[in-house]
Amino acid sequence: MEVVVAQSDVTAIEVDVLVVNLFEGVTKPGGATGAVDSALGGVITELIADGEITGSASELTLIHTPNNAYPNFSPSRVLVVGLGSSDSFDTDGIRRVSASVIRKLRSSGVKHAATIVHGAGIGGLETSSATQATVEGSLLGSYRFLKYRTTDKKRKPDVGKLTIVEADSAKIDEIKTGIERGVAYSQAEILARNLVNEPANKLAPADLAATAQSVANENGLDCIVLEEADVTKLGMGAYVGVSQGGPRPLKFIHMTYAGDSANSENNLWLIGKGITFDSGGISIKPGAGMGKMKGDMGGGASVIAAIQAIAQLKPKLNVHVVCAATDNMPGGSAQRPGDVVTAMNGMTIEVDNTDAEGRLTLADAIGYAKSKGAERIVDVATLTGAARVALGDGVSPLFGNDEELVSSVLETSSKVGEPMWRLPLDSVTKRQNASKIADLKNTGGRGGGSTTAAHFIADFAGDTPWVHIDVAATSMLDSTRGWMPAGATGVPTRSLIELAMSLGG
Ligand code: BES
Ligand code: MN
Ligand code: ZN
């Protein structure tokens, strides 16, 4: 879908559908909705009085306005969307409403729609961020993964063009900024979704590396890919141990955006778990639901996707992306429970359970980042089933060792509508990772599964400022929620972009 701005009176724009809005409880619409109401002889006011339009959140009312009946009104139809209560309205509300609207437009066969920016009038939100949220809701809300659906002939095509219409010339520049950001953020999140939705037989570590390489080529980034021999030489025994159970070669991906090359220490390292399929290894998973483990590279997908938008929006800091990609398979040469491996930083790990593989790969990815001078690390991982037990699938557990970085991530995540909640790294759960034979074991036993996993990673982050986001529950959904479709959500791609924008702003 193409998104453009037009400086025009709403009544004069030639489109299939014009989208306007209404807060709950408003009996006489103002602004653009008021202008439409007047041009249509008060039909919206009348529908409010009749009780058909109430303004409740995502209420959709389509009014047909054929040209012969309304010669001075250009749009063929008007869609009035309810915004809900004006006190609680925020950019999440905009994304939610825009997603409902775009799906309604698609199901009505609309090719070209125009919309006002939701929330910028009496909603009181800044024009550029309200525009960005309108664009994000529209692009993310209309997402479908149709690549492997070849026989459905009746499917409605996507809306081809969305025009953001604004009469006030003073707001056009802000709207352009909002569109540019909304498009970049959404395209990145969609890339992450596509990678997560891709079946494991179509996405080996080499395919993830090829995607990273093409993102780099298209956006002027550096990208290096280390092979098994390279990472073995670097001492990444924990990572190599995970990969040895399957035939598809590991790929260690390192992408760089140099936004402040004069100050190499002004850096942010984004590390994503990149398990292209997690069978559990020898500690094999039960069959039911195992197919979802094609998405165990969701963290890696989100960091690769985020750096694409970062390269386009150019914040002033250096961003590095690392993804230690591999399958976790139970082949004859697989590592066994009880094995001891040595990580890049020299620490030894007892592999108590081969299904706790993510933390093993992250240990070496972090070791690498630290060896290259990482000043701040954010890792993203579909790490523990316990994340869902703790917080459900609407909020990602977050852990960290640095108050400032933790606050920055929490702030940016709530701004973009990807909720996170900090859990403690307490000393009691930390002891659960103690091994009798090695420095650490990769499981923490009963209780606090997300926390013991985080403690494990914390030991490799050491004193480098670090945040860990567990997206095991939030990376994929069973059913559509607002702008997030069933399947991959792309979370937390937009949080990472926003973080880089705020750190390098
Ligand atoms: N990839 C899984 C975690 C996961 C579970 C992600 C469900 C998405 C949905 C991870 O590698 C794993 O298997 N974790 C184990 C750890 C345990 C063996 C200590 C888990 O959570 O059960
Ligand atoms: Mn696992
Ligand atoms: Zn896993």
Q: Which ligand is nearest to the CA of 475?
A: 1
Residue 141 and residue 209 share a domain: no
Spacing, Cα 421 to ligand 2 middle (Å) = 23
Is the CB–ligand 1 distance for residue 448 below 6 Å? Answer: no
C-alpha to C-alpha distance for 245 and 334, rounded to whole angstroms: 3
309 domain residue, yes or no = yes
In a domain, residue 191? The reply is: yes
Residue-level pLDDT at 80: 98
User: What's the CA-to-centroid distance between 285 and ligand 2, angstroms?
Assistant: 8
Looking at the structure, tell me whether residues 149 and 208 fall in a common domain. Answer: no
Catalytic residue among 248, 285, 415, 422: 285
Residues 204 and 344 in one domain: yes
Residue 176, in any domain of the structure: no
285 is a catalytic site residue: yes
CA distance 79 to 108: 11
Are residue 478 and residue 387 in the same domain, yes or no?
A: yes
Domain identity same for 152 and 194: no
- pLDDT for 304 equals 99
With cut-offs at 50, 70 and 90, classify the pLDDT of residue 153. Answer: confident
In Å, how far from its chain's centre is CA 267?
21
Is 325 a member of any domain? yes
Is residue 359 annotated as a catalytic residue, yes or no? yes
- pLDDT tens figures, 244-263: 999 999 999 999 999 999 99
Among the candidates 115, 138, 168, a domain finishes at: 168
15 falls within a domain: yes
**Domain match, 368 and 259 both:** yes
- For the stretch 473-495, pLDDT in tens is 999 999 999 999 999 999 999 99
396 lines ligand 1 (CB under 6 A): no
Q: Which helix (H) or strand (E) holds 326?
A: strand 318-328
CATH number for 132: 3.40.220.10
Q: Domain check: are 95 and 233 in the same one?
A: no
Pick from 276, 279, 380, 384 the residue to mutate for probing ligand 1's pocket: most ligand atoms within 8 Å of its CB: 384
Q: What average pLDDT is seen over the chain?
A: 98
Rg of the chain, C-alpha, whole Å: 25
% of the chain exceeding 70 in pLDDT? 100
pLDDT at 124: 80
Share of residues in the chain with pLDDT > 90 (%)? 97
Ligand 1 atom closest to 384 (CA): 21
What pLDDT is attached to residue 418?
Answer: 98
Question: Can you give the residue range of the structural domain that contains 306?
Answer: 186-503
Helix (H, G, I), strand (E, B) or coil at 3: strand
Does a structural domain hold residue 174?
A: no
pLDDT at site 123: 73
Q: Which of 168, 196, 221 is where one domain is finished?
A: 168
Q: What is the spatial distance between Cα 327 and Cα 357, in angstroms, rounded to a whole number?
A: 10
Question: Residues 157, 231: one domain?
Answer: no
Q: What are 19-70's pLDDT values in tens digits? A: 999 999 999 999 999 999 999 999 999 999 999 999 999 999 999 999 999 9
Residues 58 and 197 in one domain: no
Tell me if 457 CB under 6 Å of ligand 1: no
DSSP run (H or E) holding 496: helix 493-503
Question: Which residue CA neighbors atom 8 of ligand 1 most closely?
Answer: 472
Q: What is the pLDDT of residues 60-80, one digit of tens each?
A: 999 999 999 999 999 999 999
Task: Please tell me if the CB atom of residue 298 comes closer than 6 angstroms to any atom of ligand 1.
Answer: no
Ligand 1 in reach of 433 Cβ (< 6 A)? no
> What is the structure's pLDDT at 121?
76
Structure tokens at 250: 């590991």
CATH number of the domain that residue 360 is part of:
3.40.630.10
Please work out whether the CB of residue 353 comes within 6 Å of at least one atom of ligand 1.
yes
**For 79-121, how does the pLDDT look when each residue is reduced to its tens digit (9 = 90+)?**
999 999 999 899 999 999 999 999 999 999 999 999 999 998 7
Q: How confident is the model at residue 396 (pLDDT cuts 50, 70, 90)?
A: very high
Tell whether 376 and 407 lie within a shared domain: yes
Spatial distance between the Cα atoms of 253 and 232, rounded to a whole number of angstroms: 15
Q: Residue 275 Cα, ligand 3 centroid: separation in angstroms?
A: 6
**Domain boundary pick from 118, 134, 168:** 168
Structural domain contains residue 405: yes
> Same domain, yes or no, for 226 and 315?
yes
Q: Give 370 Cα–ligand 1 centroid separation in angstroms.
A: 25
The atom of ligand 1 lying closest to the CA of 295 is: 8
Could you report the per-residue pLDDT of 411-466, keeping only the tens digit for each? 999 999 999 999 999 999 999 999 999 999 999 998 999 999 999 999 999 999 99
pLDDT score at 290? 98
Ligand with minimal distance to 295 CA? 1
In this structure, is residue 449 part of a structural domain?
yes
Q: Could you tell me which residues come within 8 angstroms of residue 132 by beta carbon, excluding any fewer than 6 positions away?
A: 91, 178, 179, 181, 182, 185
Does the C-beta of 91 come closer than 6 Å to ligand 1? no
pLDDT digit string (tens) for 329-360?
A: 999 999 999 999 999 999 999 999 999 999 99
pLDDT at 122 > cutoff 90: no
Q: Which residues of 47-77 are buried (b: 16+ CB within 10 A; e: fewer)?
A: bbeeeebebebbbbbebebeeeebeebbbbb
Choose the residue to mutate in 357, 383, 470, 471 for probing ligand 1, maximizing ligand atoms within 8 Å of C-beta.
Answer: 383
This model's pTM is above 0.95:
yes
Burial of 113 (0-12, 13-18, 19+ CB in 10 A): buried
Compute CA distances 192 → 67, 291, 314, whole Å: 43, 18, 20
Return the structure tokens found at 352: 């108590």
Structural domain total, the chain: 2
Q: Are residues 69 and 157 in the same domain?
A: yes
For 80, the enclosing helix (H) or strand (E) is strand 77-84
